[in-house]
Amino acid sequence: MRGFYIGRFQPYHNGHHHMVEEIVDEVDELVLGIGSAGDSHTTHNPFTAGERLMMVTKSLQQFDVTSYVVPIEDINRNSVWVSHVESMSPAFDVAYSNNPLVIRLFSEAGVDVRRSPMFRREVLEGTELRERIIHDRSWEQLVPEPVSEVITEIDGAERIRRIADTDANSGSAEDMGTDTTSEGASGSIPETPGNVSNRE
């Protein structure tokens, strides 16, 4: 059986890793979708799809499972989102998600969807990790070691701090409501599968 799990993975952290650990007990093969693949270099999405692909691929090496990591760009039409995902991914038998919209869209399309319990949600969240990096607080223990190595290799922590500093001093595209994630002028993000999927 082949499972599918999508997230932004900004960055891939121990919460994602714990969920993958549970999923691989139920499947023979696993597809991980890199959501919002076209977005990078913002406070909300600092890493490129390629960088996130490295984080995920290296982290998955500890599991005895055949895996495929595929980038999936956002599409702002929820009614065709499942078809879009299926066109970018190897065929799968079951999808895993805790996001209500993702669950609803997959269910309406006739895809079997399973939930997994959240793991230490209060600290294992992309927003919390990025805030820790911005404010130079400890974060490395919240991600798999390969992810820390990738972030160090690409000088990702410094990138996040510089983006945050630029945003604070001049106002970012995100703050102005003009970025490619379709964030509104109010600063809230419309509920789309790509930009709110699974723990960031």
Q: What is the CATH number of the domain that holds 95?
A: 3.40.50.620
177 located within any domain:
yes
194 is a domain residue: no
Residue 190 maps to a domain: no
* Alpha-helical runs (H) found in the chain: 14-23, 49-60, 81-88, 100-108, 126-134, 145-153, 156-170, 173-176, 193-196
In a domain, 198, yes or no: no
Q: Which residues constitute the domain of residue 157? A: 2-181
Task: Tell me whether residue 40 is in a domain.
Answer: yes
Note the pTM of the prediction, 2 decimals: 0.83
Q: Return the half-sphere exposure (C-beta side, CA atoms, 13 A cut-off) of residue 40.
A: 14
Confidence at residue 195, expressed as pLDDT on a 0 to 100 scale: 54
| Residue 196 included in any domain | no
Would you say residue 165 lies in a domain?
A: yes
pLDDT for 100 equals 93
For residues 172 and 154, what is the distance between their CA atoms, to the nearest angstrom?
Answer: 22
pLDDT by position in tens, the chain (length 200): 999 999 999 999 999 999 999 999 999 999 999 999 999 999 999 999 999 999 999 999 999 999 999 999 999 999 999 999 999 999 999 999 989 999 999 999 999 999 976 655 555 688 999 999 999 999 999 999 999 999 999 999 999 999 999 877 665 444 433 333 322 222 223 455 655 455 45
Residue 197 forms part of a structural domain = no
Domain count, the chain: 1
